[in-house]
Structure 1
Amino acid sequence: MAEIDRAGFEWALRHACLSHYVPDLHADQASWKRQLREAPARVQWDPERDPHHNALPHRSLQLGLAGEAAARYADEWIAGVEDVAPPATEVHALVRAGELECASGLLPVERPYPIGDEVLAHLRP
């Protein structure tokens, strides 16, 4: 897993386009398609999942990078890299064994990302 610095993450969000057309956000499908083609980042909102992959009532932002955003990510924005394969393997084994409480205890604490509405307004369906 790579950690991205805040300035880079917010740049990507400001320059992103939703991965799907939303009539209330886009003038028309043609303008959305143009934005999608030109944007260096794409956003989709996916449901969070519990250890059994059941959808939870809140969504998380998924960010895809291309072009300038991908280059800047590789060259400027990476703040750290961590191998999460060992703990992920352990969590998976515990879930398969039915030890959900133990598995949940190994998951990182997740918090809402503090960000102004002006950064996300063009990305909220």
Structure 2
Amino acid sequence: MTAPYAIRADHDARTIVVYQAYPTAVADAALAAGRFVPPFSFGRMTWIKPSYLWLMHRSNWARKPGQERILAIRITRTAWDHALTHGTLTTRHPEEVARADIHIQWDPERSLRGAALNHYSIQVGIGRTLIRAYADDWTTDITDLTARTRTIADLLRTGRHPQARRLLPPERPYPNLPASLTAGR
């Protein structure tokens, strides 16, 4: 049985992959530089998600305006663990959330077909005070998954679900989830 609040991600001993959807200008600049640079916004919170399928639901398989490009961002586990340890759940008191540099939110995980599942996927909001660290220090690699995403979407549209599933990025349970992120849920 799947734990209701667990992080499932592509990770190794040193890094974890998170996903984001961007407009083409932001994606192209980040890919060319190997890190986030303008027109990426350093003045607003950015949300990172270790669940590929949750992002596909959110971006409508890279078809939502402004979310046409899907990037896999490999960040250090040290940074990820710091975010988890210092993050504030968005279900906390509004004043506490407003002061937080890192927001943590749990949303229903999604199936390959987009249905809400009975377990949750984490997303982490990196606040303005940490955006530069995310772009310059946390990020170790950026990969464009747009073509792969469109292939998966085409396979789903034509009923070839087993072939689509084989193209999904690997995700497995991530260790060391702080108890404070699931307490009282």
Query: What TM-score, normalized to structure 2?
Result: 0.57
Instruction: Between 80-89 and 47-56, report the one with greater CA deviation.
Output: 47-56
Which of 33, 37, 58 lines up with 2:94 in the alignment? 33
The one-letter amino acid of 1:17's match is T
Tell me which of 161, 168, 172 is aligned to 1:107: 168
Q: Name the counterpart of 2:86.
A: 15
CA shift for structure 1 position 107: 0.6
What is the number of residues matched between the two proteins?
Answer: 112
CA distance in 2, matches of 1:71, 1:39: 16
- The aligned residue for residue 57 of structure 1 is 118
CA contact (8 A) 1:12 1:69 kept: no
Gaps spanning 5+ residues in structure 2: where? 1-71
* Matches of 2:136 and 2:97, distance apart in 1: 23
The percentage of aligned residue pairs carrying the same residue is 34
Runs of 4+ aligned residues of structure 1 deviating over 3 Å after TM superposition are none
Matched, 1:123 2:184: no
- Bigger fraction of residues in helix: 1
Superposed displacement of residue 67, structure 1? 2.2
State the 1:57 CA deviation: 2.5
Tell me the CA shift for residue 59 of structure 1: 1.3
Q: Which has the larger radius of gyration?
A: 1
- Within 1, Cα distance between the matches of 2:135 and 2:179? 26
Equivalent AA in structure 2 for residue 10 of structure 1? D
Tell me the distance in 1 between the aligned counterparts of 2:82 and 2:100. 12
Match of 1:4 among 75, 81, 84: 75
Match of 2:134 in 1: 73
Hey, what's the Cα distance between the residues in 2 that align with 1:6 and 1:69?
Answer: 16
Paired residue secondary structure (1:98)? coil
After TM superposition, the score normalised by the length of structure 1 is: 0.82
Counterpart in the other structure of 1:87: 148
3-state SS, counterpart of residue 68 of structure 1: coil
Mapped partners of 1:95, 1:75: distance in 2? 36
2: CA distance, partners of 1:43 / 1:17 = 6
Point out where structure 1 has 5 or more consecutive residues left out of the alignment: 22-31
